[in-house]
Amino acid sequence: MRQIILDTETTGLEPAEGHRVIEIGCVELIDRRLSHNHYHQYLNPEREIEDGALEVHGISNEFLQDKPTFAEVVDEFLAFVRGAELIIHNAPFDIGFLDSDLALLGRDERMADHVSVLDTLDLARDLHPGQRNSLDALCKRYEVDNSSRMLHGALLDSEILADVYLAMTGGQSDLGLSFQAADAAEVDLSHLPKVARPELLVVKATDAERKAHEARLKAIEKSHGRCIWKTIADG
């Protein structure tokens, strides 16, 4: 399974007001493992960056003057992401800008023609309803180091989001629970001493804890199409 963690930085907040993408950062996951393959590109938006946006990402008009336009790199970018599942925090923002930039080039295609999208903000809201679910808040909740994030940056934020996403979805790639009964039968345990074991104390989950657990399993199933824990429980 190929997934791409994607983030963008822009000249402002609204593509309808003519704002453009100025940075694209992508990190590749193969079967939920970082492949160390990435795509990173600064872009000349051919317009001014709003002061508010500059305060967020620190990318200046002067820095972007000699960078390629979106038209010059669009085919390379689409080739990198094509066929993957994009994982984006607040996906409508980034997809909206990329679709707008495609439209400005007179191209009929949109991102949905090339990729599927998973929004980690939606996933976080399912897992943690009523709580703050910004990327910084999720880093704190899942103990992901974001100490280098002084300003927003597309590639850095993608790398951080990759760690957050994997933590949120619980490392579902392989829990190592499957084994052959025949293999187990070959293990001779007769030499082990018999030890009296104390009776285990069973602490039952509260209704709130069971509901929170079920919500997490549903979110994992939604993001991957299956959840190993639910398979075991149903079996």
pLDDT digits (tens, 9 = 90+) for 141-167: 999 988 876 557 888 899 999 999 999
Residue showing tokens 């989950």: 205
| pLDDT per position as a tens digit, 12-65 | 999 999 999 999 999 999 999 999 999 999 999 999 999 999 998 989 999 999
DSSP letter, residue 134: S
pLDDT confidence bin for 174, thresholds 50/70/90: very low
Measured distance CA(86)–CA(24) in Å, rounded: 13
Does residue 191 carry a pLDDT above 70? no
Cα four-point dihedral sign 40, 42, 43, 48:
positive
Helix 120-127 crosses helix 207-224 at what angle (to 10 degrees)? 160
Per-residue burial over 26-61, b if 16 or more Cβ lie within 10 Å, else e, is bbbbeebeeeeebbebbbbbeeebeeebbeebebee
Q: Which residue has the higher pLDDT, 193 or 67?
A: 67
- Residue 24, beta-bridge partner list: 8, 41
Q: What's this model's pTM, rounded to 2 decimal places? A: 0.72
CATH code reported for the domain at 2-168 = 3.30.420.10
Q: Is 152 annotated as catalytic?
A: yes
C-alpha closest to that of 123 among 155, 156, 87: 87
How many residues are recorded in the chain? 235
Instruction: Output DSSP code: residue 202.
Output: P
- On whether the CB atoms of residues 162 and 142 are closer than 8 A, the answer is no
- CA angle, residues 34, 80, 125, in degrees to nearest 5: 60
The total of other beta-carbon atoms located within 10 Å of residue 183's CB is: 8
**How many CB atoms lie under 10 A from the CB of residue 216?**
18
| Catalytic annotation, pick one of 19, 57, 89, 152 | 152
Best CA proximity match to 57, nearest among 157, 169, 124: 157
Q: Answer whether residue 172 shows pLDDT above 60.
A: no
User: Token pair for residue 107?
Assistant: 């191209």
- Indicate the residue type of 226: R
Identify the pLDDT of residue 213: 76
pLDDT of residue 230: 62
What are the counts of helices (DSSP H) followed by strands (DSSP E) for the chain? Answer: 10, 5
What are the sequence ranges of the domains in the chain? 2-168, 199-235
